[in-house]
Amino acid sequence: MLLKFNRRDCPLRSTDFATNLKTLTTHTCKLNDVQAKTLLAWLRSQDFVFSEAPYSQYAASKSNTNLVFYESGKLVVQGKGTKEFVEFVLEPIILRKARIGYEAVLNPEILLPRVGVDESGKGDFFGPLCIAGVYVNESVIKAWSESGIRDSKKIHSDKSIQKLAEQIRQTPGCITTVVPIGNEAYNRLHRSMKSVNAVLAWGHARVIENLMLQKHRMAPPPVRAISDQFSSDKGTVEQALMGLGREIELVQRHRAEEDIAVAAASILARHEFVQRLEKLGKELGFSLPKGASPAVEAVAKQILEQRGLNSMEKVSKMHFRTAKRVQGLPEPPRVVWGKSKKRG
């Protein structure tokens, strides 16, 4: 049995967020079968008027709110009552999550001052490894509430990455740093440390230390640093932390890019990587593709044949299997992440 909705039953919202929200007159989202049935029952209980619409499972309207739920599973809400419906019905009753307006009330930690760290270039044969860090506080987070800042892997345009990177750096109160590890330095570090994770741990620790050196500019100082868990052993990064980095809590978790501080760091890291990859290509006279695809291998062969091994080492990560294949060397066995078991 569904209870009749009452505005007083919804969570309180932050006044700042309420006044800053733009007027919402249309909203779309996906519903699963359970959510669709729950919404249908709620609409009936609230005396919505139902009608037919092409390719829809149902359509309903009342006052200044119109809804159409399509066979594809997409829900479209339109009208002047859209914002109120989304905030007070769709999110708390149907989706059971807050997406606009009162996230900070439901999750106060979202506004805590913190540092986000992420890297770019780890899976790219050509180009450096770039690790970025971003300090955010409450004012920065609120300034980004409608910025589109998200995990860089979900942004497929280099121009969009550049635009967001500029916005991040120009936001008052936001402190940033980037540590690029060029290919020659990267190859030396990998030969010495024997592990990509060890190189990443060193880079993350260096970024955190660089940010903490600017602690006097942070208001207030960060309570923690958040990064993706790239190693099965969380101690890999903790052991690499330097003096100032040990002053704050280190949080490592999967899908850390869901945190806006880490997402911002991923954008800065990707922007730095893209710029440096383009510069390397111009200096060498080749267009260096991203990733580690057959197209990457084809370019690597051309560089080796035309410029020699020294030139390839200046733009490539030489421990990649691609480098072994290009040189005609035996490839190392594949290893399952986090395990010592080998696979073919």
DSSP string across 92-145: IIII-S--SS-HHHH-GGGGS-EEEEEEE-TT-SBS-EEEEEEEE-HHHHHHTT
Residue 93 has pLDDT above 50, yes or no: yes
Q: Could you tell me if 27 and 174 lie in one domain? A: no
Among 83, 106, 129, give the residue marking a domain's end.
Answer: 106
Residue 205 has pLDDT above 50, yes or no: yes
Residue 340 has pLDDT above 50, yes or no: no
Q: Could you tell me if 72 and 194 lie in one domain? A: no
**CATH code of the domain in which 102 resides:** 3.30.310.10
Query: What is the number of other CB atoms lying within 10 angstroms of the CB of residue 61?
Result: 17
What pLDDT sits at residue 21? 40
Residue 328 has pLDDT above 70, yes or no: yes
Domain range holding 50? 7-106
**CATH code of the domain in which 125 resides:** 3.30.420.10
Query: What average pLDDT is seen over the chain?
Result: 87
Local confidence band at 95 (pLDDT 50, 70, 90 cut-offs): confident
Local confidence band at 1 (pLDDT 50, 70, 90 cut-offs): very low
Local confidence band at 104 (pLDDT 50, 70, 90 cut-offs): low
What pLDDT sits at residue 10? 37
In the chain, the number of structural domains is 3
Which three-class secondary structure string do you get for 1-31? CCCCCCHHHCCCCCHHHHHHCCCCCEEEEEC
What pLDDT sits at residue 23? 58
Computed on alpha carbons and rounded to an integer, the radius of gyration of the chain in Å comes to: 25
Residue with token string 């197209």 = 295
Local confidence band at 7 (pLDDT 50, 70, 90 cut-offs): very low
Residue 2 lies in a domain: no
pLDDT digits (tens, 9 = 90+) for 304-324: 999 999 999 999 999 999 999
What pLDDT sits at residue 69? 97
Local confidence band at 182 (pLDDT 50, 70, 90 cut-offs): very high
Q: Could you tell me if 89 and 155 lie in one domain? A: no
Residue 294 has pLDDT above 90, yes or no: yes
Residue 71 lies in a domain: yes
Q: In terms of DSSP H, where are the helices of 2-116?
A: 15-20, 33-45, 82-85, 103-106
- Share in percent of the chain as helix, strand, coil (round to 5): 45, 20, 35
Which residue type does 169 have?
Answer: R
Residue 96 has pLDDT above 50, yes or no: yes
Residue with token string 């602690």 = 215
Among 91, 106, 121, give the residue marking a domain's end.
Answer: 106
Residue 343 lies in a domain: no
Local confidence band at 97 (pLDDT 50, 70, 90 cut-offs): low
What pLDDT sits at residue 107? 58
Q: Could you tell me if 155 and 207 lie in one domain? A: yes
Q: Could you tell me if 144 and 32 lie in one domain? A: no
End-to-end CA distance of the chain: 55
Residue 332 has pLDDT above 90, yes or no: no
Residue 231 lies in a domain: yes
Q: Could you tell me if 119 and 266 lie in one domain? A: yes
What pLDDT sits at residue 19? 38
Residue 41 lies in a domain: yes
pTM of the model: 0.69
What pLDDT sits at residue 108? 59
What pLDDT sits at residue 272? 98
Q: Could you tell me if 235 and 191 lie in one domain? A: yes
124 phi/psi in degrees, rounded to 5: -100, 125
CA 132/CA 209 separation, integer angstroms: 12
Q: Could you tell me if 46 and 168 lie in one domain? A: no
Q: Could you tell me if 84 and 184 lie in one domain? A: no
Local confidence band at 56 (pLDDT 50, 70, 90 cut-offs): very high
Residue 1 lies in a domain: no
Looking at residues 233-256, what average pLDDT do you find? 88
Q: Could you tell me if 93 and 120 lie in one domain? A: no
Would you put residue 4 in left (φ > 0), alpha (ψ -120 to 50) or beta? beta
Looking at residues 190-208, what average pLDDT do you find? 95
Residue 336 lies in a domain: no
pLDDT digits (tens, 9 = 90+) for 28-42: 999 999 999 999 999
Q: What is the DSSP string of 252-310?
A: EETTGGGSHHHHHHHHHHHHHHHHHHHHHHHHHTS---SSSSHHHHHHHHHHHHHH-HH
Q: Could you tell me if 11 and 152 lie in one domain? A: no
Among 106, 127, 160, give the residue marking a domain's end.
Answer: 106
Q: Could you tell me if 66 and 128 lie in one domain? A: no
What pLDDT sits at residue 343? 33
Local confidence band at 252 (pLDDT 50, 70, 90 cut-offs): very high
Residue 299 lies in a domain: yes
Residue 5 has pLDDT above 60, yes or no: no
